[in-house]
Amino acid sequence: MLTKKYIMVNNRRDFMKQRNSRFVFIILPVILFAACPHAESFAGDTESAVYYLEPVFVYPSLIDEYYANSLRTITYIDNGRKTNSQSLTGSLDQISGLDAAMRGAFDIQSDWQIRGASFEQTDFLINGVKVNDPQTGHFSSDIPFFIDDFDKVILISGPSAGVNAASRQGGSISFVTKKPAVQEIKARSVFGDNDYSNQMLSVSYPAGSIFSRTSAGITSSSGYRYNTDFRILKISHASFLENSLGEMEFIFGFMDKEFGANGFYSEFFPDQKEFTKTAFTSLGLKSDWKNVNFNPRVYMRRHEDRFLLDRSNPHFYENLHTNRVLGAKLDIVHELPLGKIFSGADIASESIDSSSLGNRQRQRNTLYFVYSGNIGRLIFSAGGTGYFYEGLEDIFVPELSGGYMLNEFLKLRLSFSQSFRAPTFTELYYNSPANIGNPGLEPEESNNYELGADYAALGFSTEVTLFRRKGKNLIDWVREKSQTVYEIRNVSRVATEGIDAGFKIHPESLNEFNPSLKEISFGYSYVRRSRQESELVSKYVFDYLKHKFVLAGEFLLPHSISSKVQTQYLQRIDMSGDFIVNTTFSKEIKSYNVFINIDNLFNHGYSRKANIPMPGRWIFTGVEIKW
C-alpha cells in the first residue's frame, strides 16, 4: 500500500494558503504552455550498473512491487550519486547492456539499443508514459529534461509487456522524475574544448502545500569536426501537491535543438543539418483506496523537425515535420492474499503533419495486466498486453516469468515473452533522394527466452543472463551495393542470442580492504545474430555491438579529491574493437563541487554508428554551486 499524507486545515489562514496553492498548481500548466516556444511553427524559420535481488523500485506510484522479485535483467542508475557527465547519454553509457549508438557528441542524436536490437526496438518511458516518437525512433531519445530532474533511470533488458505495454524486442528505458524535497538553488557552469559551454540553473521551492522545481539551461559547441556544431536549449518544471485524494504531479519539459548532421542519414551527404523541438507534459494522481492503488494520468508529447539535406543550399531538399501524441492512461494495482494484479489501459492518438510524409493520424490503444506473487521460495508472474492499432490487426503478446530462491543470497530465474512493434510514419511513407519508405510494411514480432541467476551478499553482487530472441518481419533499410538509395522492407526471420553479466563490489567491502577505493564494477555484454548471405547492404538490423565491456572504479585521492575512471571495450559486428577511457576528478568545497572531465583520455579514433567518427580527447572543467 502506498502511504497517504493528509493536509490538515485548522483555520482560515491555512485554508487560504491551501486554496492559493491549488490555484498555482492549476494555472501553472497554462502559463508554461502559453510562454513555451514550442507553440511556434518552423514555418517562420527558413555500467556502473547496480543489481538487486531485493525490491527494485521502477515507478514510485504503483508498480514498485512488480519488479521487486527482479525476474528480469534490471539495471538502474541512481541519480543520488554524482557522475558529472555532460549528457544523459554519457550517464547511460556506463551500462554494459546498452549500446549508445551515437552519431555525434553528447545528446545530439543517440540511438539507444539493447541486446543487439535496433533503436526502434527500445521503449522509452517518463513516469510510466511511453514517449517513443511516432515519426522515427531517432527522436525517441530527445528527452526534454535535465539529468538532475530524474531520481533514477531504469533499463529493463527484454520485453515486459505486462506493465505499461513496454514490449519492444530490446527492452525499455524508464525515467523517473525527482520530487524536490528542500528549498534549493543549483547552478552549473562548464567550459571545454571546441568552444564547449554548458550553463544551467535550477530552483526548488515550496509554495504552500506544493513543492516545485524549475530548471533552464543551454549547451553549445562549434563541433569537433566539419558540420558537427550544435546548440541545445532546455526548460523543465515539476510540481507535486499532496491532499486528501493523494499526490498530484505535474511535469513539463521543452527542448530546442539544432545541429550539424554530417553523414547522419546518408554517407553521401556531409552537409546535412537538423532543427528539432520537443515538448512533453503530463498530469497525474497517485491515490489508494483500501487494497487498491490508482494512478490516472493525461499526457502530451509534441515534436517538430526541420531537416536540410544540404545546409549550404536549403532549397535543394527540405523536410518539415510536426508530430503529436495525446493520451490518457490508468494504472491499477490490486493486492490479493497470494500476490498482486497489475493492470492498466493506455489510449492515445498519434498524428503527423509533414511536407514529405503527408498528414497522417492513427489511434493507438493498449490494455495490459500481470499477476505477480510467490509461494515460499517460488516467485512467478504472468500477463500480457493487447494492442489495438488503427490500420493493423489486433494482437495479444504474453509474458511468463518464474524464479526460485535457492537461499537468501542466490536466485535462479527464467522467462518467456513475445514482442510487437508497429512501423513508424517514416518507415511507412518517407520518400527522399536518399531513403524510400514502404506503406506495405508488416509489424515486427519476436519470441524471447531468458535464463539467469542473481547472487547478492554483503558487500558485493553479481548476475548472469543468457537470452535468445527469434524475430519475425524485422524492419530494415537496405540498398544494393552499387546503389546509393536505401529502401525499407521486412526481413523474414532473424535469430539473436547473447549474454549479459555484471559484478559489483560495494563500498562496505572496499573500506576494510582499502579506504581509498570507493566502488568497483564490471559489466559485459555479448550479442550474436544470424545473418543470411545477401547482396544487400543493411543500415540497421545487422549493425550492432557484438562485445561491450565496462570496468569502472571510484577512488579517493589525497586532499579529498574524488576520481572516477571508466574503461570501455566496444566492438561492433564486422569491425575491430576499441578501448575508450574516460575519467573525472572532483572536489567538494563547502557548497561547491569543482570538477574536471576528460573524455576519450587517450585520443583514440573510433565510431559508434554508421562509420561516423566520434570525438577525440575532450577536456571539460566546471563548477556546481548549491545554496
Q: Is 80 exceeded by the pLDDT of residue 44?
A: no
Least confident among 92-101, 221-230, 463-472: 92-101
Q: Is 70 exceeded by the pLDDT of residue 263?
A: yes
Asked if 485 and 479 touch (Cβ cutoff 8 Å), the reply is yes
Question: What was the pLDDT predicted at 422?
Answer: 95
Q: Could you report the per-residue pLDDT of 45-95, keeping only the tens digit for each?
A: 434 333 333 333 333 444 455 555 568 788 878 765 556 677 888 888 989
Task: Read off the pLDDT band of 512 (50, 70, 90).
Answer: low
Closest CA to 518 of 567, 571, 556: 556
Q: Is 70 exceeded by the pLDDT of residue 170?
A: yes
Q: Residues of the chain with pLDDT > 90: what percent?
A: 59
Question: What was the pLDDT predicted at 509?
Answer: 61
Question: What was the pLDDT predicted at 511?
Answer: 64
The residue-averaged pLDDT of 175-192 equals 92
Task: Read off the pLDDT band of 518 (50, 70, 90).
Answer: confident
Question: What was the pLDDT predicted at 508?
Answer: 62
Q: Is 70 exceeded by the pLDDT of residue 429?
A: yes
Q: Is 60 exceeded by the pLDDT of residue 38?
A: no
Question: What was the pLDDT predicted at 200?
Answer: 96
Question: What was the pLDDT predicted at 325?
Answer: 98
The residue-averaged pLDDT of 282-292 equals 90
Question: What was the pLDDT predicted at 347?
Answer: 97
Q: Are strands 358-375 and 378-389 parallel, antiparallel or unpaired?
A: antiparallel
Q: Is 90 exceeded by the pLDDT of residue 534?
A: no
Q: Which of 237-241, 508-512, 540-544 has the highest mean pLDDT?
A: 237-241
C-alpha cell at 485: 538509395
Gap between the Cα atoms of 379 and 441, Å rounded: 39
The residue-averaged pLDDT of 99-107 equals 88
The residue-averaged pLDDT of 6-35 equals 37
Which DSSP string do the residues of 290-354 spell out, in sequence order? TTEEEEEEEEEEEEEEEEES-TTSTTTSEEEEEEEEEEEEEEEEEEETTEEEEEEEEEEEEEEEE
Question: What was the pLDDT predicted at 50?
Answer: 38
Least confident among 133-137, 374-378, 512-516, 597-601: 512-516
Least confident among 385-394, 420-429, 489-498: 489-498
Q: Is 60 exceeded by the pLDDT of residue 17?
A: no
3-state secondary structure of 425: helix
Asked if 243 and 5 touch (Cβ cutoff 8 Å), the reply is no
Q: What is the mean pLDDT of the chain?
A: 85
Question: What was the pLDDT predicted at 79?
Answer: 66
Question: What was the pLDDT predicted at 537?
Answer: 85
Gap between the Cα atoms of 126 and 58, Å rounded: 11
Select the more confidently predicted residue: 52 or 404.
Answer: 404
Question: What was the pLDDT predicted at 337?
Answer: 86
The residue-averaged pLDDT of 326-337 equals 92
Question: What was the pLDDT predicted at 67?
Answer: 54
Distances (CA, A) of 475 to 312, 573, 610: 33, 19, 17
Between 2.40.340.10, 3.40.980.10, 2.40.170.20, 1.20.1630.10, what CATH number should domain 12-626 receive? 2.40.170.20
Domain boundaries, the chain: 12-626
Gap between the Cα atoms of 162 and 370, Å rounded: 5
Question: What was the pLDDT predicted at 577?
Answer: 93
The residue-averaged pLDDT of 490-502 equals 91
393 beta partners: none
The residue-averaged pLDDT of 459-484 equals 90
